[in-house]
Structure 1
Amino acid sequence: MKKIKTDFAPRFRAGKKSSGLQLMETFFHFNELDVSKEILSKMMNYAVKRNSWINEDPAVIFQFHQSIRLLMRAGYLITLKDRKWTVDTQPEKISPWVLGLLSEKEYRNPVLVFKKAFRAYTLKEFDYFMSGIVYFSMGVYENLPERNIVMPYIHTVKMLDAAHLILQRRREKKMADTHSG
């Protein structure tokens, strides 16, 4: 009897079927920015606490884990193309509330967020980070994560903001093109 091996590895391709922008749109179709940041923050908080675990449905955590991995792959695909989503604004016009964790330079060109993140960490390392905070937030464990999980967390939050900003600018550009044409 022949053994059939099933490949459960996630697949993504930068073709017509799934571009980085389409994957980002899919992420935000099912996840709101503020809710995503809140879930990520809760997971991070519980991952570093001892003797406590997150009070969320495990299915919600798993779905979020899979969704954020999709977003990270979308960002990776965006970095492979040299397209810019820049905006021309004067520095005094940008409110600190709008920037969030992004620098002014990153706000002007959100693709820089993904480029910096993937220079610092690989997709596999981001997967490891996400798996780690899911694991440590879902139960009580003696050991805490053995690696620095703060920097990947900051990069992930910035990726959420940058992806949302890219899609917002894309919608604004489409609206401007529609009204001008």
Structure 2
Amino acid sequence: MKKNKISFETNFWAHYELENPFEVIDAFFGSDSLAYYKQTLSEIVFYRSKEEVYNKECPGDVFFNYTAIRSFLRACSRLSDKRKKWKVREVSAAQRSILSQASLTAEEYENPFIVFQNAFEEHSLADFEFFLCEVIHLALRPTIVEFDSDLLTPYIHVIKMLDASQLLLESDVEKIKINE
């Protein structure tokens, strides 16, 4: 049975629709840097519990970031299915750096596809999209609102997915050949 393809909805921020999750990640990090997305997401999560509106000088940027991160999450959900078909070539000890490992464990650094698998085993794509919508909604409110959903766990997963995706871009990814 063939799986239904989901649209990455990249036309809102990349100006055209991409169909390959690797291309989405490439365009995503071509739009802005890993540091920018991590900083922006951290600020949004921080502002969810403040009586100030996040980025009130330019709220259009918030919408743009929302659409880009949402597309990124959709691409990551597809990458969680690809862990058995793709692998990262081994990184030499000379190229390895604890700084480039970022939030990833040693095992995740060796195989970044584990990050996507773990994230989407614990939460669905809808859960991640709800998290993104909820933190942005709370960050754009001028008052503090009580919320009863877990926003920390999805946030940690998204940060790890950002780091894993950057690692995929910097690494040689190859398709696993199945011996017949």
Q: Could you tell me which residue of structure 1 aligns to residue 171 of structure 2?
A: 169
Preserved contact between residue 89 and residue 172 of structure 2 (Cα < 8 Å): no
Written as runs of structure 1 = structure 2, the 5 A alignment for 1:7-46 is 11-12=7-8, 18-46=19-47
Q: Which has the larger radius of gyration?
A: 1
Structure 2 stretches of 5 or more lacking a match? 1-5, 10-17, 175-180
Q: Verify the 8 A CA contact 1:47 1:144 in the aligned structure 2.
A: no
- Residues of 1 paired with 2:85 and 2:34: CA distance? 23
Equivalent residues of 1:85, 1:169 under 8 A apart: no
- Secondary structure class of the residue paired with 2:171: helix
Deviation at 1:148, TM superposition (A): 1.2
Code of the residue aligned with 1:88 in structure 2: it is: E
1:115 partner SS: helix
Higher helix share goes to which structure? 1
Counting matched residue pairs gives 159
The gaps in structure 1 that reach 5 residues or longer are 1-9, 174-181
State the match for 1:74 in structure 2: 75
Match of 1:126 in 2: 128
Distance change (3 Å), C-alpha of 1:54 and 1:39: same
Q: What does residue 6 of structure 1 align with?
A: none
Helix, strand or coil at the partner of 1:80: coil
Partner secondary structure for residue 146 of structure 1: coil
Overall identity of the aligned pairs, in %? 26
**Correspondence 1:142-153 to 2 at 5 A:** 142-153=144-155
Q: Which amino acid aligns with 2:55?
A: N
Please give the TM-score of this superposition, normalised by the length of structure 1: 0.78
Deviation of 1:89 (Å)? 4.7
The CA RMSD measured in Å over matched residues stands at 2.4
Decide whether aligned partners of structure 1 residues 53 and 42 sit closer, same or farther in structure 2, where only a CA change above 3 A counts. same
Question: TM-score under structure 2 normalisation?
Answer: 0.79
